[in-house]
Amino acid sequence: MILLICLPLVGIIAGYLLMGRQLTIIVDGESRQVTTHAMTVRGALRSAGIRLTPLDQVIPPASKSLTNVTEIKVQLSHPVQVWNDGTKKLTAVDTSAKTPAEILVTAGILPGAGDIIRLNGLVVPMDQPLTVTGPFVLQYTPAVNLTVNVDGAESSFYTAAFSVGTALWDKGITLHGGDALSQSFTGSLDPLSVLSINKARPLVITADGRDISTYATAATVGEVLAKVGITLQDLDYSKPAETDALPEDGRILVVRVREEVLREQQTIPFTTESSTDNTLESGQTKIITAGEDGLQVATVRIRYEDGKEVSRTTEATVVLKEPVTAVEVVGSKMVQQTTDVGGVPVNYYKAITVTATSYSPCNSGASTCYPYAASGAVVKHGVLAVDPAWYGILKGTKIYVPGYGTGTVEDTGSYPGTHYWIDLGYTDAEFAAASQKTFFNLTVYLLGPFPEGTNLELP
């Protein structure tokens, strides 16, 4: 009876085993379809020719029954070598880990912030699976904490760069050619020392007709000039001076100086000694001794700055010939003359040519009215004004002015560029009624009287 029951059951099991099961097996990301009669995951993998090692990873577990299993994932372990730049050691591991971070942990390295990993010289992300199969080498560079002081401002950051320059570049710290570093730009990092950077200042040096742009950390102007190959020779100088600190505006001017010493012949003008003679008619001059110029040789130093003359200095003179002083006698005898002026006979002592203008108390060019002349006389027709240089000589003198009549010098005025000017006085009403107020190149006649000793020589 029992045999009759078991026989069908055995047949069912045997039939089940004889039936093939379709599975998808994914090994290191590559999938394939297999048919298996195995009862477990391990058996299915064996039937597919896949032999597991203790470090391989299998999902589902290798011991699990294939019931309801349609897909098996396998991560095979690979031999990996890890080179540690920090310890200078090479560590070999066999692991199924796929991300660099997991591989490092397998090699006994706990990665930190800023660490980098390279595969074939290229940096790869720590947390992304690698697609490389077979043996390979990873290069691990641990980050160091680098302290940087830039012009007194200190900061720290982690970096795994190979050189100082690369670390600064990665951090966004740019350098110019004139910047000063306490460590070699191409050298390896020294985390135990502060990396000091003195940023160079931009400068423009004007020299020899051109502008030179540069960067420098020098303490003085002279150091900067030496750095760019500009020398100051002889009398050359710079603005600011060589010993001065770098200028705030960043501009340095180099002035090229040269001097020449010349010997020049120079004339020594003669002087004149004058005296008056009351027996000689006014306006006449008698030469007693003719004046002669002297001659001297002068040593002159000429200074040029950037090719332009800036000064001439006489350093010494040698007189070759002394000047001869002129001696003359000027007549002071007043001699009256007579002439006809527009049909009017005029007896005068001196005729002069002037510019004549007109004025009145409220028409004198001032902002207020002045009714009185310098002598105290009321300004009206017949009052004349002259330059102060003439007033002391001609005060009270009568002058005949054609077209105006005879007037007396009673007032002073101010005239542009010449003393040869006379103002003709009027009342305000007379000024308004005058038909002509200005006369150019007008000859007027000095009638007298004159103070004792006056020779009518006007400045």
pLDDT digits (tens, 9 = 90+) for 60-95: 887 888 888 888 888 777 788 899 988 889 998 888
What CATH class does 78-141 carry?
Answer: alpha beta
For residue 404, the model assigns a pLDDT of 93
pTM of the prediction? 0.44
Distance CA 8, CA 5 (A): 6
Arch. (CATH architecture) of 201-255: Roll (3.10)
Q: Which fold has domain 260-331?
A: Resuscitation-promoting factor rpfb fold (2.20.230)
pLDDT value at 280 more than 70? yes
Segment (H or E) for 386: strand 383-386
The percentage of residues in the chain with a pLDDT greater than 90, rounded to a whole number, is: 39
pLDDT tens profile 197-219: 888 888 999 999 999 998 888 88
pLDDT tens profile 225-250: 998 899 999 999 999 999 999 899 98
For residue 95, the model assigns a pLDDT of 81
For residue 297, the model assigns a pLDDT of 94
Q: Determine contact, residues 390/376, Cβ cutoff 8 Å.
A: no
Arch. (CATH architecture) of 334-448: Beta Barrel (2.40)
Q: Which residues contact residue 231 at a Cβ distance below 8 angstroms, ignoring those fewer than 6 apart?
A: 225
Which pLDDT band, with edges at 50, 70 and 90, does 349 fall under? confident
Instruction: Compare 128 and 278 and report the one with higher pLDDT.
Output: 128
Q: Please determine, looking at this structure, whether the domain spanning 19-75 carries the CATH number 3.10.20.90.
A: yes
For residue 49, the model assigns a pLDDT of 76
The percentage of residues in the chain with a pLDDT greater than 70, rounded to a whole number, is: 95
CB environment 135-159: b (16+ within 10 A), e (fewer): eeebbbbbbbebebeeeeeeeebbb
Which pLDDT band, with edges at 50, 70 and 90, does 3 fall under? very low
For residue 19, the model assigns a pLDDT of 58
Query: How large is the average pLDDT for residues 158-173?
Result: 86
For residue 451, the model assigns a pLDDT of 66
